[in-house]
Structure 1
Amino acid sequence: MSSPEQAVFSLLSNIALSIDGAAVLGLTLAYAAVRTIVKFTSSSSALRKLQDAPSVRVSDLRSVLDVEGGSDSSSRSEREVLVIVRGSVMAKWAVEGANWYSLWENVLFTRISSDRAVIIQRTQTCIYNEWKRIFGWTWDLLAILSRSLRERKSSSLRTVPFVLINGSQMPVDNYVVVNMDGSKHHLPLTTVYQQLQPINASPYTFLQALFGHEYPVGLLDEEKILPIGKYVSAVGHCFLKNGIPEIKPCNDLPYFLTELTKDQMVIYRAFRTKILFWSSILLGSASIGILGFAFARNWNRWKEWRRRPNDQQQQSHAAVDELNTPVSEDDESRDVPDGQFCVICLMRRRRSAFVPCGHLVCCQQCALFVGREVSPKCPVCRQTISNIVRIYHS
């Protein structure tokens, strides 16, 4: 290994061995800053799209698609326009059927209240309780007395095709079909039923609690719906399919079906974007400062190690040669007085003093091992060592 490679390796090893939390904290803040910047970029892009997207009524949607798509019917069918449409929820079969009196056919009904809806989400949450292992590994009193609750959910979602219309007047002349394929956005559902049923304990439950195993304590049954007639906004790509407007979700936007208007969405997204912007600046500045401090400190240590006097290096070589020479048996085998043993090996007599602190606490061999470190420090006072002096007793 060449001299430059040895210097680089010593610097990297020094950084790795001298980590006291600054480098780890700096890297953690840098990672958080990068993630915040990514979120800020995504949020600002979504904000621009929401600001540029026209907010139209269902009756004006065809005119917007005609203007954007041009005069050619084929281009109008293939062109997708990002719009914000606001209207009332209605079942698709009600507006496409020939009989306008059969409005409630092919719709969903809730189990308890018999409300009519196009989306029904039923969630059953089993709540488990767990004592902190009286006979387990945790013997801490606070941990024994504390409890934790865990939830296990099972959810079912039923949907029927639905559209958005203007108001609730029949018959319907203009409507837009809502295509939810591939949508993972939050739905503006309304809770119509919620009940928590306790679960009766059994002797087996007592044994579960005694030995620290979780056991069920309650069952939460919820039912949420998207009712017919609810006024919502649909944000997505709109296009003509067989001459009928259809809207589908955009994965780059945080909204698809929402109760918010365009102005409310823009205000909320602008506030979130501003928070992410300043958070990324603060986290980035803090990470750069901490990493710069850690780098400068290790760089100074490396330069201090490189600036050692040549005579010290020569002295180290001479000491190594002295190590290779056989030590006088009369000098080392005799009884060492109390208080004169080396503080490191506890076998040989103290022979070397450190400069500038002046502590005479190590034998010659252990002093050389200490002096070979990248940043040698006295084992007693932890002061940086600049030289090692051999002491001879007359």
Structure 2
Amino acid sequence: MADRPQGSGMPEKGTPEYDWLYGSQSQTPPSDATQRVPAQAGDRDARPDETRVMPVARREARGGGSGSGGRPPTGRTPAAAPRPRRRWRPRLRLGFVPLLLLLLLVYLVGVPLYHWTAIDKVDAAPSGDRPSDQPGTNYLIVGSDKADDLSDEQRAALRTGERGGTNTDTIIVLHTGSAGRTMMSIPRDTLTEVPGQGTAMINSAFSTGGPPLLVASVEQLTGIHIDHYVELGFGSVINTVDAFGGVEICPKQDMRDPMARLDIEKGCQEVDGLTALAYSRSRHVTALSDLDRVARQREVISALGDEALSPWTFVNPVRYWQINAAASGAIRVDEEMNPLDLGRFALAMTGDSQTCTMPNLPAPSDPNRLVADPDRAPALFDAIIEDSTVPKRACTPTGRAR
């Protein structure tokens, strides 16, 4: 054996205390030291004298440590790693919004359809010759004084009795078409030819022949073909206004009319249903009596239309339900009208429109009655018939010449 350099630090092979490193048949290495491992079967590249490193045995397998099973000295079980928080995903919100909009749409459509079944339908089509169909749509709005749709408290406040009368204080032709909307009032004291009765006040047609005779009388007077009939009772005004929470009216003077149960000051103000009805019925305060009254009737109807289109009507489900319930319980429509037609009518009452009273003059035979002005009335009638622009001189609030 060659001499080992001094100070090389290398152990000398053959030295007994280093047999575990260079190998020896008579020396068994310590149990937890690096040792030589016999080659396994199938290990083709293994060499007999190759040294290998045994994996370090677990403490509990070697019997080391205390009886704690190898836990940390503290004796506590390590805490589990925190689970990552699930992030909120916007797609969940995007899926909820369409569902909410769908439910709102179903509610907005379903409520009117449900209340449609409660609306009374009447035969309003007159017999005999009628004007042919015309451009646009013409609605005849009738306000009756029947009290069968009033509560006991409302009857007591209005002193109407059990059922009231069968007259009509409100006769309005509402036209919609390409030329816009026109609302024309026909004063109830207008003398005209009533089929089967000769010359009479136009409102007598309603009390004697009901809706068909009134429609026939209006068509004969104006030449306008009436497409649909809508009748409003006392209760329809009171209950609908109250369902809206009130409407705004703007009287131009103080109005105190005991016969109409009205006592209000001039100026714009919010009023309830009873006051709105009294305001539209009063005829004993202003100089032109019925001619001023028809203008106030149109004012109340237009105010209802404006409230109907308020966003709050559609956002508030309770308000929306109450309005539909109030309207359906107090109106009557012709048998040919369907829910879509009624919706068009509701929209037609809203927004800007020309408001007129039929051009009129005092009747030669009775100054307390009216007749259509032969010079100006045909221009207004023809504009509605032809769905054209209404001449300004023919459209005035009272029907009198400017």
Structures share fold, TM-score greater than 0.5: no
State which structure, 1 or 2, has the greater radius of gyration over its C-alpha atoms: 2
- TM-score relative to the length of structure 1: 0.22
Larger relative contact order (CA 8 Å, sep ≥ 6): 1
* Structure in which a larger fraction of residues adopt strand: 1
- TM-score relative to the length of structure 2: 0.22
